[in-house]
Amino acid sequence: TNLAYMLARQPGHKVCIVDLDLQFGEVSTALHLRPRYTICDVLQREDDGNELSSVIEDYVVRHESGLAVLAAPRDPSEADRIEPGDVSRVIQAVREKFDTVIVDTPPYLSEVVLAAFDMSDSLYAIATLDLPSVRNMGVFLSTMERLKIPQDNVRLILNKAETGVGIDVEQVTKLFSQGFSAVLPYAKEVSKSINLGLPVIASNPGAEISRRIVAGFRELTGHVDEIENALNAAPSGWRRFLHRTPSPAPLA
C-alpha cells in the first residue's frame, strides 16, 4: 500500500494493487475500503464472454489517494476456483489499463503465486528479525534459483527490526550477499496507520519508517526528494482526510 501510494502521487500515474492472498487478503481492510466486487467477479464476467481488459476497471475499488485495488475473494473457499491461468489473464488485463501493477501475495508458494511471479518485473521478499523467518528467506531464494527466476529481479526487505531480540541486523545481512533494499524498524506508527486506513507514509510522512520505506523503493519510484515533495504537496482536501477522526476498519 505504501508503494502504491507513492506511485499514485506522481501526476498521471495509474497504479493498482491486485490482492492475490485469495484466502485471507487484507489490502482492502488495511485501506478501509468496501469493495463491491472481487477477483472472482471479474472472472465471472469473463465467463459471460467479455474481454477482461475492457471491463477490469469496473471491478476495482479506489482509495481516496487515487490508487486502485482489485480485492481478494470474500470467502476463503472461493480461492479454490481460481487457477494459475486465471491469475495470468487478470494481471495482463490490469497491466493494459494501469501504469504499475502491484501484486500482494500470501506468505507461501503455490501455482497461483508462481503464475504472478512469472509476469513480474521485480519481486520483493520480506523477512522479520527472527530465525524461522530468516531461514525461510534462504529457502525462498534457493527455490527461486531452482525455478530459474533471475536473482537480479529479487529484492529483500527486513521488516520490524529491533534491538535486544537475540539476533541483530548485521548478523542477518551477512547471510544474504545481495543485501537488503530496506531495513524497516518496528514502529507503532504502522499499526496506527492501518487503523486509520492509510499507508504509513501518508499518515505520518515524517516518521523514520516512512523515510526508510521511501528510500527502499527508490529504484522503482525515482528520486527520493521528488517523492517526498509530492507527499508534502498533497492537496488540502487530502490533508483533511489524513487528520480526520478514524472509524473502525470494515471487514473486506
- Alpha carbons 102 and 100: distance in angstroms, whole number: 7
Q: What DSSP designation does 175 have?
A: H
Q: Provide the residue type at 218 as one letter.
A: R
Distances (CA, A) of 58 to 17, 19, 62: 14, 16, 10
Share of the chain above pLDDT 90, in %: 60
Q: Provide the residue type at 78 as one letter.
A: E
Backbone angles phi, psi at 154, to 5 degrees: -100, 125
Cα four-point dihedral sign 72, 128, 170, 4: positive
pLDDT tens, residue by residue, 113-136: 999 999 999 999 999 989 999 999
**Are 213 and 184 spatial neighbours (Cβ–Cβ below 8 Å)?**
yes
User: pLDDT tens, position by position, for the chain (252 residues)?
Assistant: 999 999 998 889 999 999 999 999 999 999 999 999 999 999 988 766 568 888 999 999 999 989 999 999 999 999 999 999 999 999 999 999 999 999 999 988 899 999 999 999 999 999 998 999 999 999 999 998 898 888 888 999 999 988 877 788 888 888 898 889 899 999 999 999 999 999 999 999 999 999 999 988 887 776 555 556 655 555 433 444 443 333 333 333
**Are 224 and 218 spatial neighbours (Cβ–Cβ below 8 Å)?**
yes
Distinct helix (H) and strand (E) counts, the chain: 14, 7
pLDDT tens, residue by residue, 52-81: 888 999 999 999 989 999 999 999 999 999
